[in-house]
Structure 1
């Protein structure tokens, strides 16, 4: 792991730990999700900046860290990647939020969409394992998100399509 990726991993771990965030269903520390996303992204051969952004992809949504802090610590390029995969409207706002967040992700760069695909994969696998009674509804929503991620890594996209199919 390069210095940049190690710094992003440590930053994300500290941020998620600071708010006591746990992974739904498993109650594991939340950082297992960004770690899995970063691993999937790294396996595509992505640049270090993209892997670092994968570690940081949920920090702004889920902790007290701002996009300005991401930019100050990691630079504009990584902050831009994180911004492209960060929800623009909180999911609690329902269908409107879902559509706006999907449309925001549709405009993301190929590298940011690769992060989005990896995150979707990890979340979909968890839903399929732990929420069998709701799996059809949730995976349908994941499929709708996947449809706008066509610029991302093709191999990862195909794996995600198999998971949500």
Structure 2
């Protein structure tokens, strides 16, 4: 495939993912600063863009919270963006529900799920953790104690992700 055609496909994928995520998140706001929620997926995508990545990883970064936090489904994502993006989003979507128990139990289930994820999904998750850590640390110091401990545990299973992002995430995590 010609480089120009490949670049156009990549840009179209990103633009479509951004439009989908923007629509899906609608009027949602970030808990920690009140900004439109879409700023988070955009930030995650930009963090992923800073390291070796694929167009599918950028799309997944933009879409990573849509199934978890909106009415969007994995089937819709697969139909709109293909199986590679849908698979990454599936890995990035928490599998736990309140039915599974308290937060600690749920986060452990989600951690176990991510432990088996491919490196591309782990790289996107590292970017997600980095952006969330910055926001939570600044916006909710009390919750940071909980999130920081969860982050440290999660980092134990994300070693296959990008090493630069892993180092950044480890630097943000509490001692």
Same fold (TM over 0.5): yes
Q: Deviations over 1:78-124 (max 9, x none)?
A: 10000011000136842221111010011110000001001011111
C-alpha distance in structure 1 between counterparts of 2:40 and 2:61, whole Å: 10
Q: Per the alignment, in what secondary structure is the counterpart of residue 55 of structure 1?
A: helix
Q: Is the 8 A contact 1:4 1:52 kept in 2?
A: yes
CA gap of 1:106–1:5, structure 2 versus 1, over 3 A, is same
C-alpha distance in structure 2 between counterparts of 1:61 and 1:22, whole Å: 15
C-alpha distance in structure 2 between counterparts of 1:141 and 1:61, whole Å: 18
Does residue 23 (structure 1) correspond to residue 23 (structure 2)? The answer is: no
Q: Is the 8 A contact 1:58 1:86 kept in 2?
A: yes
- Aligned partner of 2:111 in structure 1 is 102
C-alpha distance in structure 2 between counterparts of 1:133 and 1:112, whole Å: 29
Does residue 116 (structure 1) correspond to residue 142 (structure 2)? The answer is: no
- Aligned partner of 2:20 in structure 1 is 11
Q: Which runs of 5+ in 2 are unaligned?
A: 1-9
Structure number with greater Rg is: 2
C-alpha distance in structure 1 between counterparts of 2:90 and 2:54, whole Å: 17
Task: Calculate the aligned-residue CA RMSD, in Å.
Answer: 1.4
Q: Is the 8 A contact 1:91 1:98 kept in 2?
A: no
C-alpha distance in structure 2 between counterparts of 1:91 and 1:149, whole Å: 24
CA gap of 1:29–1:91, structure 2 versus 1, over 3 A, is farther
Does residue 50 (structure 1) correspond to residue 37 (structure 2)? The answer is: no
Q: Which runs of 5+ in 1 are unaligned?
A: none
- Aligned partner of 1:155 in structure 2 is 164
- Aligned partner of 1:89 in structure 2 is 96
The offset of 1:136, in angstroms, is: 2.8
